[in-house]
Every structure is written in C-alpha cells, then in structure tokens.
C-alpha cells in the first residue's frame, strides 16, 4: 500500500519505456539521456525486462508483479520498494540498495545479488521542523517471505534482520553473507553455499540445510529446532582424513607423479577413495593420470591444468572446484557433484587406448548445476541423466555426445546443440535452453 503522506505517481508503460530509453542513452554516452527516477511511482505489472538501469532510483516504488527479468540494476536504489511477486529472474543487483524492500513471492532465480543490502529500512518524508520525519508504520525489515532465490548469488550480501520465512535458497551462493537475526523459519537452503556466512541469532527452525555447505558458518545462538542438515559439508572431515591414508600425502602424490612420468617403471598409483582432500588446496598443473578418488571430497580444490586422463572420480564432491583447462579425457565422473565448478576449456573427450580403442569420459547422473563449461571439449561424452541446470555450455564441443534424459533447465547452449549430439532423447527443457 502507498505510504501515508507521500504522493505516488502512476506511470503508463509508454512513459516507463521512454524513461528507460533515456537512462540507457545516458549510460551509453548518447545525447538526450537522463537518469531514470522512479521514486514513489506505481509500476505494477510493468515490463522493464532486459534493460540496463544501473544506478536508477526506485525508492519506495510500487512494483508488484513487474517484469525485471534479465534487467541490470547494479547500484540502483530500491529502498523500501514493493517487489511482491515481481520477476527478477537472472537480474543483476550487484551492490543494490534493497533495505526495507518487500520481496514476498518474488522470483530471483539466478539473480546476481553480490553485496546487495537487504537490511531493515524505513520510509521518511520531508518535514519543515524535523527535516526528515519517519513514517513509522512503514518501518520494516527486508521482507522476502516465500521469495525464490534459487541459484541466486548473494555473496557478501547484507541481510541482517531480514524476514524470509519459507523462502527458497536452493543452490544459492551466500558466501560471507550476513544474516544476523534473520527470520528464516521453514526456508530451504538445499545445496546452498553458506561458507563464511554469519547466521548468528538467526531463526532456522524447520529449515532445510541438506547438502548445503556450512564451512566456517557462524550459527552462534541460532534457533535450530527441526533443522535438516543431512549431507551438509562443514569444516569437520568428510570421510577419511589424509592422515589415515597410511603414508604422508606428499609422498603418495610424488609416487603417483613418478609413476606417470616413467610409464609405470617407478613409483605407484595412489588411491584416495573416500578421502577428504580439501586441505591440499591446490593440485593445479599436476600430472595425475589415472588418479583415483572415488567418493572423495575435493570441494573448492584448484585443479586448473591438471592432467587427469582416465581419472576415477565417481561420486566425488567437486563443487566450486577449478578444473579450467584440465585434461579429463576418458575420466569417469559418474554421479559426481560439480555444481558451480569452473570447467572452462577442459578436455572431457575420449581417451585413445592403444591404436584403435577410444574410452569416452562419463558425466552420467552427475550434478553440474550452475557450472561453466564454455569452450570445453565434450566430444563423445556419456552424460545420460546429468543435471546441467543453469550451466553454460555455449561454445563447447558436444559432437557425438550422449545426453539422454539430461536436464537443461535455464542452461545456455549453442543453436546447433541438437544437431551435434548423438542422442538427447528425453532431455528436460532442452528446447527452452
């Protein structure tokens, strides 16, 4: 509802479009430009999609049901704006001011909300005697009850005191986010990354934190009655520690590298099945052909440029791992978790064995959500039943690949994808990707 004492202005779609055009002209340095000023305007159900409205002013605006999908709102002021049921899917809200904003039922799937401010806000109006008089009934915490933040990037966002009951943060990035005293009752954080987040004093009663990342997450004085944490990754060892492998890990890796360099004449291959390898931090550029780490935890590990031909990585946790430019020809990543992994320019094509035998790489049943596979070699890949939701596969080579039953919800693919692959029968949302 419009705030008492403030004159709201109703705009038509034509007026909104003209203001957006002038704002974009300003940002592009063209003549006739002017900053978009939508403060205290009624923009209900308006279409502002795919516009560049960085640094625009939406203070106190009524934007219920508005379409802002794909819109760039970096550093914009949405202070105390009413965004109930608004569509902000894929929008960029980096460093935007959303203090006191109402996001009840809003869709923010895949939105970039890095360093966004979602703390408490109040609306004030000019007063001759007091300067600015707060309209007390409009004082409110940031409110996002039942909002959809699926896959949104909320890294280092400020959400102290926010009310977000029954909100969906599935697969969201909340690294270093501040959710002190936030009301998150019944919210879903399944698969979300809360590394370094501060949830001290937050109400997480009946929340779902299954398969989330809770490394160095501050839960001091939080309410945790009925919370689900099945499969959550914390700083505690996940599986075997490196000390339990029977020899110093440095020696095991040195033996493996020597075994690779001498074609098996010296050294021996290492086996890290079920081990928690996070403390290694980096294996970038290492020669680790036939590396075996089935079911191992390699979360966040730097494997850039590593030689992992024929590696056995079934069911391994490689979330947030950097595999850029790595050689994974013939590797078996069946059932592996690669959410938010960097796989740009990696080689996941077939490995030539002998003179005429090819061993294809496997991503069957793997979870590769929000991953970056641009420029990757995926020729002849076996990716049946894999989940590529919201991942980038554009500019990747998928010739003769098997993607039967895979999921491509929100993924980016090249127009020739369907012609290049060998089989994609039963794929989900392939036509919409």
pLDDT tens per residue, range 104-123: 999 999 999 999 999 876 55
Cβ-in-10-Å burial (0-12, 13-18, 19+) of 128 comes to exposed
Report whether pLDDT(134) > 90: no
Q: Which residue has the tokens 């819109």?
A: 71
What pLDDT score was predicted for residue 140? 52
- Whether 164 and 183 have beta carbons less than 8 Å apart is answered as yes
Cβ-in-10-Å burial (0-12, 13-18, 19+) of 3 comes to middle
Residue (of 67, 154, 143, 78) closest to 110 by Cα position: 154
Backbone φ and ψ of 14, nearest 5°: -65, -40
- The CA distance from 399 to 403, in Å, is 11
- The CA distance from 50 to 73, in Å, is 10
Q: Which residues of 198-219 are buried (b: 16+ CB within 10 A; e: fewer)?
A: bbbbbbbbbbbbbbbbbbebbb
What pLDDT score was predicted for residue 208? 98
Query: What token pair was written down for 295?
Result: 């079911």
Residue 260's H or E segment, with its range, is helix 249-261
Query: What token pair was written down for 184?
Result: 């998150």
Cβ-in-10-Å burial (0-12, 13-18, 19+) of 328 comes to buried
Query: What token pair was written down for 396?
Result: 């990747």
For the entire predicted model, the pTM comes to 0.88
- Whether 190 and 212 have beta carbons less than 8 Å apart is answered as yes
- In this structure, of 109-118, 138-147, 173-182, 335-344, the range with the lowest mean pLDDT score is 138-147
Q: Is 316 helix (H, G, I), strand (E, B) or coil?
A: coil
- Measured at the alpha carbon of residue 202, what is the angle toward residues 99 and 166, in degrees to the nearest 5? 75
- Within a 10 A sphere around the Cβ of 242, how many other Cβ atoms? 18
Can you say whether the dihedral through the CA atoms of 306, 311, 317, 319 is positive or negative? positive
Tell me, yes or no, if the two domains 1-168 and 237-433 fold the same way.
yes
Query: 6 falls in which pLDDT band (50, 70, 90)?
Result: confident
What kind of fold does domain 1-168 have according to CATH? Pectate Lyase C-like (2.160.20)
Domain ranges in the chain are 1-168, 237-433
Q: Does the 237-433 domain belong in CATH 2.60.40.420? A: no
Can you say whether the dihedral through the CA atoms of 252, 257, 259, 262 is positive or negative? negative
Mean pLDDT, rounded, for 333-359: 93
Backbone φ and ψ of 424, nearest 5°: -135, 30
Query: 132 falls in which pLDDT band (50, 70, 90)?
Result: very low
Residues 6+ apart with CB under 8 A from 309: 289, 290, 327, 328, 329, 330, 331, 351
**Average model confidence (pLDDT) across the chain:** 92
Residue (of 426, 420, 396) closest to 408 by Cα position: 426
Query: 186 falls in which pLDDT band (50, 70, 90)?
Result: very high
CA distances to 52, 55, 258, 268 from 109, rounded to whole Å, are 18, 22, 47, 47
- The CA distance from 192 to 155, in Å, is 11
Mean pLDDT, rounded, for 285-312: 96
Residue (of 421, 312, 407) closest to 365 by Cα position: 407
Query: What token pair was written down for 425?
Result: 């029968």
């Amino acid at each position: 509802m419009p705030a008492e004492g403030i004159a709201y202005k109703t705009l038509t779609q034509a007026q909104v479009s003209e203001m957006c055009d002038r704002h974009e002209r300003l940002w592009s340095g063209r003549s006739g430009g002017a900053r978009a000023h939508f403060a205290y305007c009624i923009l209900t159900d308006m279409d502002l999609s795919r516009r560049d409205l960085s640094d625009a002013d939406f203070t106190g605006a009524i934007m219920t049901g508005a379409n802002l999908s794909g819109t760039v709102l970096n550093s914009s002021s949405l202070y105390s704006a009413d965004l109930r049921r608004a569509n902000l899917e894929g929008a960029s809200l980096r460093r935007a001011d959303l203090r006191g904003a109402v996001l009840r039922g809003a869709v923010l799937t895949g939105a970039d909300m890095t360093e966004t401010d979602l703390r408490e806000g109040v609306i004030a109006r000019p007063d001759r005697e007091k300067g600015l008089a707060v309209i007390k009934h409009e004082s409110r915490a940031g409110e996002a009850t039942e909002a959809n933040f699926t896959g949104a990037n909320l890294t280092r966002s400020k959400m102290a005191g926010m009310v977000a009951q029954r909100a969906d943060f599935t697969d969201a990035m909340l690294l270093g986010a501040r959710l002190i005293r936030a009301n998150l009752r019944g919210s879903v954080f399944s698969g979300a990354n809360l590394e370094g987040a501060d949830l001290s004093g937050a109400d997480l009663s009946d929340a779902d934190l299954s398969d989330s990342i809770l490394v160095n997450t501050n839960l001091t004085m939080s309410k945790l009655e009925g919370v689900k944490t099945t499969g959550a990754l914390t700083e505690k060892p996940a599986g075997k520690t490196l000390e339990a492998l029977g020899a110093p890990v440095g020696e095991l890796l040195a033996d493996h590298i020597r075994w690779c360099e001498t074609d098996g004449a010296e050294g021996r291959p290492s086996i890290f099945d079920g081990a928690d390898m996070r403390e290694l931090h980096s294996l970038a550029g290492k020669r680790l052909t036939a590396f075996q780490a089935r079911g191992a935890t390699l979360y966040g590990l730097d494997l850039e440029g590593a030689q992992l031909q024929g590696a056995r990585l079934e069911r391994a946790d490689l979330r947030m791992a950097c595999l850029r430019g790595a050689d994974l020809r013939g590797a078996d990543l069946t059932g592996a978790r690669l959410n938010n992994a960097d796989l740009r320019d990696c080689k996941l094509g077939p490995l030539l064995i002998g003179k005429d035998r090819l061993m294809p790489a496997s991503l069957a049943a793997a979870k590769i959500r929000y991953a970056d596979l641009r420029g990757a070699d995926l020729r002849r890949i076996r990716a049946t039943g894999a989940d590529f939701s919201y991942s980038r596969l554009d500019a990747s080579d998928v010739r003769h690949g098997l993607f039967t039953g895979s999921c491509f919800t929100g993924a980016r693919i090249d127009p020739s994808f369907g012609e290049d692959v060998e089989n994609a029968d039963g794929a989900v949302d392939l036509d919409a990707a």
